[in-house]
Every structure is written in C-alpha cells, then in structure tokens.
Structure 1
Amino acid sequence: MAPHEELLQKYLDGQCTREEAETLMKWLQSTGSHRALLHSMQQEFERSMHTHAEIPAAISDRIETRLLQDISAGKVVNMRARARRNWMIAASVALLIAAGIYSYRVTRPAGTPPALTAQRTEDVAPGSNKAVLTLANGATVMLDSAGNQVIRQGSTTVLQQNGQLQYDSKPNEGTVGYNTLSVPRGGQFHVVLPDGSKVWLNSASSLKYPTAFTGKERSVVLQGQGYFEVSKNAQQPFLVKVGEMEVQVLGTSFDVMAYSDESSINTTLVEGAVKVAGRVLKPGQQARFDPLTGSFSIRPADVQQVIAWKTGFFEFDNAGLDDIMRQVARWYDIDITYTDKQTDRTYGGRISRSLPLSEILHMLEPNGARFTLEGRKLKVSSTE
C-alpha cells in the first residue's frame, strides 16, 4: 500500500494525527490532478451539505471514481476485488475533505486563484433523460427529464413523469396500435409497458411495442440496449426480438445489448430464466450471438459490469480503448476519430456517467492516450 493510502486508512481508523491530516491535504494539492480532485470534491460536498445530513450515494460514487483513478493512474484497477478497501479509502477522503474545506480556504493566500477553473476550454455535458415517442398514428412527442404530460391514444393513456413513461391500457376497448420509444445518443429513458413490465433504454436505442398486449404472447422489438424487468404471466410469454434473434421470457430481469457497431448481440440474465436460440440461461450467464457468422455461445458474465450503465456508471475490466470510446461516444453524443494506431493497453475501473466528458478523458489519458476535443468531434491519438 502506498504511503498516502496508508494515511487514508489511518484516518478512517481514527488514528491520523493533525499533522498527518495536513500531509494528506498537501498531497491532494501537490499536483494539478490532485488539486483538480480536491476542488471537484469540494464542489460536490458544498452542493450536497445544504440538503443532506449524510453523504449521498451518488456523491460518494463520484468521489470513489476520482480517487481511485487518480491513485491508480496508468493501472488496471480491479474494482470488484478491491471494492471494500477502496470504499473505505474513499470514505476517509470524504470525511477529510468535508472537514478540511474551511481550513483550505483560510490558508490559501489572498489573491490565489482556485485550484481548478476549467480543465478544457471546451467540454461536453453527460447524457440525460430524453427520447422521442412515435405514436400509432405517426405523430411524435418529444420527451425529456423535466416534462410531465398526459398523452391519449384511443383507449390508451400514457403518463410522462420526469424520465419515465407509464401506460394505462384497456385492451378490450378500441384498436391496439404500436408505439416506438427512440432514445438518441446522449440520452436514456424508462418505460412501464401496458402489462407492468419495466424497460430502461440506453443511448442510441429504441423499443417498439403495442399499446396493449392482447394476443397469446407479449412481443416487443429492441434496437440498441435495454434492461428488462418483466411481469410474470405464464399464459402470455414475453418475447424480445432483436434482429434475427429472439429472447423468450416468462418473468425475469435481464439485459440485451444489440448495437450495430458491436461484434455480438449479448443477452445477460440477472434473475429468473430466459431462452435464447433454444438454450435456457441461468442467472449470471450471458448468451452471445454473432450476426455475421451465426455463431452462438453461453458464458459466465459479470452482471454488475453489464448493467452498470443502468445504475449510472461505466464499468470496464481489461477493456480496450476502442471498446470504451464506443460507449463514451453514445453517452456524450460525440464523433470519434483515431489519428494513429491504438495501443494494446487495457483499462479497468468504474467511472460515473454523470461526469462531464473532460473528466472522463482526464482519467483515461495516463494510459497512453491523448485527446483533442473540438465541439463534438474527438480526436484520439497515442502518446507512445
């Protein structure tokens, strides 16, 4: 364990002296990246302390992300194996920063500018709740995180509340139509289907579904990525159609990733049971289908890594830079070009999706990548 990590552990254990605490503060301010970390954490705590008696989970997650990436720059961080110790370290820094904000301000010489004013002259905000709902008659409705409205389609009432759609259908009245919920790059959205099943759509995804499930089966069509929590109904199986593949469900939680720029369509089972290509998956398994070759396989999956997007994170384990950048491009709605051959270095760790793009890039740079951002065009080059 590095000396400063040992000090952090001592602080958590209540054994850190005032002098050692001051040493930690000086270390956090010793380089540009540490000062950026400190300033960013200060801003988060200042915003949260007004309304929260305890540190919110979202804030602590962002602290954990920044701390781990800063301490372990250039390394592949196995977040799961080190989860408890890393959380303890992050918690100790949280307490240290919360307690040290006042002294930091007082001791900073008069006229000295803040540690960080802007990491880049240009930046891109993270994605948000937004989508387009196409109704059965072809009309479109723009949806966002702030909107609250009631949409009526014959016997179907759709309630939009913040980042969610809720359907209330009367299947025995009127004609059943089809709606399509389309989420652009830089967006995400949540829909509760007429049968009560819940679907979370990731960026650059769409879901086509009926306004009421009246037949022998409940069938929807997915493009992109979606996380499903399906209401049980053994008499009316739930089907997710993805290109040439079909996922058969009775009642379960699972993730389907079917982006056109990825090499395979992946179905990952969280709980319950699904059938893909005639094979039944068990919880914790992932089915992979290659549309080009027709090959199919089932393997163990890291479920938390697969569904990290739904809980607000990017999570990687020995991932190549191109794999990471495809996810970044979809969430931040940017176009990426590579100016030279990519390195074979891999990345690991957990990064909050609520951070601005510049912070994501800052965390990736120590591993041999250089980024140039112009508007929404990002050029990636190697430093090696």
Structure 2
Amino acid sequence: MPDHQQRIAYLLARYVNKTCSREELEELFAMIGQENGPDIPGDLLEEIWHTAHPAPDIDYEQAYLHIKPVVPIRRSLPFRKIAVAASVLLLAGAGYWWLSAEKKTAQITTVQSAPAPPILPAGNKAVLTLADGSTVTLDSAGNQVISQGKVAIRQSNGQLLYAGQPTDGSIHYNKLTTPRGGQFRLVLPDGTKVWLNSASMLRYPTVFSGKERIVELDGQGYFEVAPDAQHPFKVKVHDIEVQVLGTTFDIMAYRDEQSVNTTLLTGSIRVNKGSVQQLLQPGQQAVANNQDQQLAVRAADLRKVTAWKNGMFVFNDMALPAILREVARWYDVDIVYNTSPATELYGGGIGRDLQLADVLALLEGNGLNHFRIEGRKVIVLP
C-alpha cells in the first residue's frame, strides 16, 4: 500500500475509534480534499469501517443525503471525493458525535462569555390574518376551529384546513404569515397543500371561484397543487407569475436573496416575468434575477431545494453568507460581520433540529471563520 494510503488508513482508524485529534482530522480532510490528491479505494474505507463497526457497505449517494457535518469544497472537486469525505465524517453518526462533543465544550468555554439560554430551531408557528383584519396566533399545540362566516378553518397539529362555502357568493382573503423561527402547513379550499418556510407569507381566498385559482407568495413555499385542468393554479411572486395545472414545485422568493428560484419536481409549469416566459420540465429551475428582467433555466439540485421541507439544511457549492441567511431566518437571529466571510464554498448538510450553537460549531469546523452568540445576534469572526 502506498505511503499516502497507509497514512489515510491510520487517520481513518483513529477517527472511527474516536481517538483522532483535531490536527489529525484536519490533516485527513486536507488529504481527501486535494483537487489532485490521492484516490481512496473503496475497499480501504470498507476495511477501516468494518474493523471498527460491522455495518453494510457505504452508500455514497445516501451518505450525501444524510450527512450531518459540513465541509468546505472547491467547485472543481469531483462528487466522489466529496461523497467520500462526507462518508468519512458520517460513519453512521460517529463523525457528528466527535465534532459536536468537542465543539460543545468549546462553545461553553470560549464562544459565550456567560451562560445563556440556547437558541432553539424553528417550530410550527404562524399568524393567520382574517378578512376583517383580526388575527389568530397559531402554533404546534393549538387545535381549534375558526369560523369565518360559513367557512370553517380547522387548526390541527401545525396545519390549517379550510372547509365550507360562503352563501353570499362573496370572496374573502386570508393571509398566513410565518415569522423568522417559524413554519406552517396549509390545505387550501381546493385541496392544494402548501408548506410555508420561515419568514414567509401566503395570501389566498377562502374559496376559489372563477376560471383561475390565484394565490400570492412572499418568502418560500412548497406546493402540491390539486389537479383541476379547468381552473389553472397561479402563484404571484413580486413581478413573477407561475402558472400550473396539477403539479409539485417550490418557490424561493426572499427579498434579501439575489433571485427568485422556481423549481419543478413533477408536472409542468410556466414562469412569466414581464414579457419573458419559460416552460419548465421536472428537475428544472427558473432563476429570475431581482435586478433585471433576466429569466434563466438551469438543472436543479432537488435534494437541496426540498431539504428545508424535509428538516435539513443542504449546501451544494454555497458561500457562507448564503448559508447564514438561511440560518438567520430559521433561528430568528441577526448576522453581524466583524470580518469578511471566508470565500470557500461549502458542501454537505446539517439537521434543522439542532440548536443554533451546534450548527455554528459545525460551520466552524474548517477553521476559516468563527462565531460568537450575543443575545439573538451571531457575530462572524476571523
């Protein structure tokens, strides 16, 4: 076995047995992450893994889907090397145990100068604004029926469901708003299911009438549209209109992002921006630049797009500021830069059920930037 593979085998063995030092871990990633560095034979990984833990073969695709820690990557780094690095840290949870155990200690002794309540992840919470302007606060625990004329709105287990029809033929609009640190689900009167991400708003009628079903979105929503070919479903987002029949798609339209991204999972949708139109096929994403009338189509990373709905942050060639914008919305914190953020791109993923301190500890793992929590502010440090 070549010398470099012997060294990797040694570091891997120390890692899975939880005897690896921080310096050795950094050396291991440096060897794996070299753009022209050594390939790591699958049988070597399998040998090391089975020596420490009897387990089935590593599935690199699944490792990518379920990885917890985050590692910096280069845009030109082959996927297999990223998957191998991810698998090294994953190892059925061993990597997360090692990093989080060490980092939690560092958090107590160096990141926070005084004990403070932990900042927890977002939960099911929202505010429902009725047509008359009155508001109802919603959360995970609430189970209630809200009457609005002849329309009954039932809240159950973090979800709203509409039933009934107004007798006078009038149309009333409701608005569901999730704060930073909140999310909620909604079943519209036609049966369309909507997941609202944090810091988002959906405006919709209490009953659909006429030839079209139209809703308005600000923020991010995932839609499973009830099929009805006679009544097209439309989502209005800023100066963009998305038209569908029956399909599944995601729209990310936060005002602090550079673009509005509409991603199609199933079916077919048409995205209109001014005089420009794009017809999407499953797996495609329409990117509308917020600064001009440009509307481009590209292949989408569906795992990343739908990760928020599935309880994960997933990063694929993402810069730190973009990651921290997601973190800020999910944990209801403000990001303050005391230094320029590192320019390296990140790949991997983190569970959205972790406390904020644990997420920041994992992001610190590359040693490029550090963070300090002050109240509900995250200070970015060198």
**Fold shared by both chains (TM-score > 0.5):** yes
Hey, what does 1:315 align to over in structure 2? Answer: 314
Cα distance in structure 2, aligned partners of 1:31 and 1:342: 22
Cα distance in structure 1, aligned partners of 2:90 and 2:381: 32
Hey, what does 1:11 align to over in structure 2? Answer: none
Cα distance in structure 2, aligned partners of 1:207 and 1:24: 47
* Match among 240, 244, 266 for residue 271 of structure 1: 266
Q: Secondary structure at the match of 1:308?
A: coil
Query: Against the structure 1 CA distance between its residues 4 and 330, is the aligned structure 2 distance closer, same or farther, given a 3 Å change threshold?
Result: farther
Which string of whole-angstrom CA distances, capped at 9 and with x for unpartnered residues, describes residues 33-88 of structure 1? 99xxxxxxxxxxxxxxxxxxxxxxxxx99x9544x44xxx5556989756699569
- Superposed CA RMSD in Å reads 3.2
Cα distance in structure 1, aligned partners of 2:310 and 2:203: 23
- Structure 2 counterpart of 1:379, one-letter code: I
Hey, what does 1:281 align to over in structure 2? Answer: 280
* Match among 131, 155, 172 for residue 150 of structure 2: 155
Q: Give the 5 Å matches for 1:46-65.
A: 65=67
Hey, what does 1:239 align to over in structure 2? Answer: 234
Query: Against the structure 1 CA distance between its residues 125 and 33, is the aligned structure 2 distance closer, same or farther, given a 3 Å change threshold?
Result: farther
1:266–1:289 contact (8 Å) kept in structure 2: yes
1:4–1:24 contact (8 Å) kept in structure 2: no
Q: CA deviation at 1:24?
A: 4.2
TM normalised by structure 1 equals 0.75
Hey, what does 1:341 align to over in structure 2? Answer: 340
* Structure with higher RCO (Cα < 8 A, 6+ apart): 2
Q: CA deviation at 1:375?
A: 0.5
Please, which runs of 5 or more residues in structure 1 have no aligned partner?
8-19, 35-59, 98-114
Question: Are 1:27 and 2:19 an aligned pair?
Answer: yes
Q: CA deviation at 1:160?
A: 0.4
Q: Give the 5 Å matches for 1:168-187.
A: 168-170=163-165, 175-187=170-182
Cα distance in structure 1, aligned partners of 2:72 and 2:260: 31
- Structure 1 counterpart of 2:146, one-letter code: I
Hey, what does 1:213 align to over in structure 2? Answer: 208
- Structure 1 counterpart of 2:373, one-letter code: L
Cα distance in structure 1, aligned partners of 2:106 and 2:343: 33
Q: CA deviation at 1:92?
A: 4.6
Query: Against the structure 1 CA distance between its residues 333 and 4, is the aligned structure 2 distance closer, same or farther, given a 3 Å change threshold?
Result: farther
Hey, what does 1:380 align to over in structure 2? Answer: 380
Cα distance in structure 2, aligned partners of 1:79 and 1:212: 50
Q: Secondary structure at the match of 1:331?
A: helix
Identity %: 47
Q: CA deviation at 1:365?
A: 1.2
Cα distance in structure 2, aligned partners of 1:150 and 1:139: 15
Q: CA deviation at 1:343?
A: 2.3
Q: Secondary structure at the match of 2:308?
A: helix
- Structure 1 counterpart of 2:372, one-letter code: T
Question: Are 1:227 and 2:222 an aligned pair?
Answer: yes
2:16–2:91 contact (8 Å) kept in structure 1: no
Q: Give the 5 Å matches for 1:47-126.
A: 65-66=67-68, 68-69=69-70, 74-75=72-73, 81=80, 90=90, 92=92, 119=108, 120=112, 121-122=115-116, 123-126=118-121
Q: Secondary structure at the match of 1:196?
A: coil
* Match among 147, 159, 164 for residue 164 of structure 1: 159
Which string of whole-angstrom CA distances, capped at 9 and with x for unpartnered residues, describes residues 114-158 of structure 1? x95964544311111100000111110000011111111111111
Q: Secondary structure at the match of 1:310?
A: coil
- Structure 1 counterpart of 2:122, one-letter code: G
Query: Against the structure 1 CA distance between its residues 33 and 365, is the aligned structure 2 distance closer, same or farther, given a 3 Å change threshold?
Result: farther
Hey, what does 2:32 align to over in structure 1? Answer: none
Hey, what does 2:9 align to over in structure 1? Answer: 3
Query: Against the structure 1 CA distance between its residues 3 and 172, is the aligned structure 2 distance closer, same or farther, given a 3 Å change threshold?
Result: farther
Query: Against the structure 1 CA distance between its residues 124 and 76, is the aligned structure 2 distance closer, same or farther, given a 3 Å change threshold?
Result: farther
Q: CA deviation at 1:25?
A: 4.0
Cα distance in structure 2, aligned partners of 1:125 and 1:169: 37
Hey, what does 1:112 align to over in structure 2? Answer: none
TM normalised by structure 2 equals 0.75
* Match among 181, 195, 200 for residue 200 of structure 1: 195
Query: Against the structure 1 CA distance between its residues 92 and 219, is the aligned structure 2 distance closer, same or farther, given a 3 Å change threshold?
Result: closer
- Structure 1 counterpart of 2:150, one-letter code: S
1:155–1:173 contact (8 Å) kept in structure 2: no
Aligned length: 320
Please, which runs of 5 or more residues in structure 2 have no aligned partner?
26-61, 98-103
1:335–1:378 contact (8 Å) kept in structure 2: yes
Q: Secondary structure at the match of 1:275?
A: strand
Q: Secondary structure at the match of 2:361?
A: helix
2:320–2:345 contact (8 Å) kept in structure 1: yes
